[in-house]
Chain A
Amino acid sequence: MSGPFRDDRPIFLQVREMIEDQILNDQLQEGEQAPSTNQLVNVYKINHLTVSKGINQLVDEGILYKKRGVGMFVSEGAKTELIEQRKQSFVDRYVKDMLAEADKLNMSEDELIRLIQQTKREES
């Protein structure tokens, strides 16, 4: 098991998110061919059953579609759909962790909001 994967979340989820990220930041456009299972296995050295599990979820949800004998492609409207999905999981994945850490450090809500605003200003 190697590559950019973390060991605290199932790898198949991280595989699907990697492809999702490519769609979200326009590296993979709608209608374009997505990387094949074998390509992903070769590059990341993760088990092909694991890769398939992640990819099949995206197919089931209509983000990717299969063309027989050709490969996997990005569906029309995939990006909008993903943005919607990611917004829904944003609280679970980021906000809760941030609040737990802030709690450990005894930070107030105001302090937290100030930090977010300040960071955002510095970045833009």
Chain B
Amino acid sequence: MQEHVEFHDVSLKIGRDTILEDINLTLEGGKTYGLLGRNGAGKTSLLSLLAAFRPASTGAIRLNGEKIFENPSAMQQICFSYDKDYSEETEKVKSLLKNLEFYRSHFDHEYADRLVERFNLPLNKAVSKLSTGMQSAFNVTIGLASRCPVTIFDESYLGMDAPTRDIFYQEILREQSEHPRIFILSTHLVSEMDHLFDDVIMIQNGRAVLHDDYETLMTKAFYVTGDGDAVERFSKPYRVLDRQQLGGTTSALIYTDAVDTPQKEAHEQGLDVHHVTLQDLFIHLTKEVTQDANS
């Protein structure tokens, strides 16, 4: 069965603060979602609702049509991997992994062993004695080997060195093709992880401001560069996210929902067209919203 998760008019209020508002999202099995947002935008709050750690203030989150909160069978299907506090965890890596098969019905022991080897995790060390990077690798091992239909990694790379992160990314790619599920990756390392995403979701000030598949999103934004007046003329009907000037040359970052994207037209007008990276797009999209909110 193809898994799907629905957020329907979800909001979260804590005291007088609105943390999340008007969240309507549909997530489908077999896709890897990149969840992006500035610090404090509400990413972790959103994910903890999906993990049923707390109830939403309004609205409902459903997995395959069933509400997830206080629903044990739905919660079995969802794994949330985050920066856990292991300071009191005197249990060894080996025995903690061993116990997991009692909690996680899809847990694959052989795969966990392979990951332990790839990540060089010391099996006989207490989890509390692991370095931050090693604890992250331990979390990722659990998250991957549990093979939950909905697997969430919330900044799971904390403290990992570059080669370890690369292993993590390779495993996500391989797992998604061999054991398809819903992966949600919340991250600040956009440029390092953008190759993993099927869809991109951006959260800004507690709202989901964008949800698009990667390829569509990347054709919506582009730089045009050339003579200042020509660039101004061309970019007039569009939303310009950023503008840089150098002498008589202007470079404008254009964002458009137009189905028929106007890159070709720009080219014909003698302007250079360059594509933008997801990281740059993220920076300029979220920057703009913040300025609007302040003005």
Contact = CB atoms under 8 A, between A and B. Distances in A.
Interface of A: 1, 7-8, 10-11, 38, 41-42, 44-50, 53
A117 B198 CA distance: 49
Contact of B215 (A7, A8, A38, A47): A47
Contacts of B194: 1, 47
A56 to B, nearest CB: 12
A41 B173 contact: yes
23 contacts: A1-B278, A7-B275, A8-B273, A8-B274, A8-B275, A10-B275, A11-B275, A38-B173, A42-B173, A45-B195, A46-B195, A47-B194, A47-B195, A47-B196, A47-B218, A48-B173, A48-B195, A48-B198, A49-B213, A49-B214, A50-B214, A50-B215, A50-B218
B105 interface: no
Question: DSSP majority for the A interface?
Answer: helix
Contacts of B218: 47, 50
Most B CB contacts (10 A, CB to CB) among A1, A8, A53 go to A1
A101 to B, nearest CB: 14
Nearest to A37: B177
Given A8-B275, A48-B173, A49-B213, 11 more contacts: A1-B194, A7-B274, A8-B272, A41-B173, A41-B195, A42-B170, A44-B195, A47-B196, A47-B215, A49-B215, A50-B214
B202 to A, nearest CB: 16
Contact of A53 (B173, B198, B215, B272): B215
A38 B277 contact: no
A49 B198 CA distance: 7
Contact of B177 (A1, A11, A38, A44): A38
A47 B176 CA distance: 14
The 5 closest A-B pairs by CB, nearest first: A49-B215, A45-B195, A7-B274, A47-B195, A1-B277
B233 interface: no
Nearest to A46: B195
Contacts of A53: 215
B269 interface: no
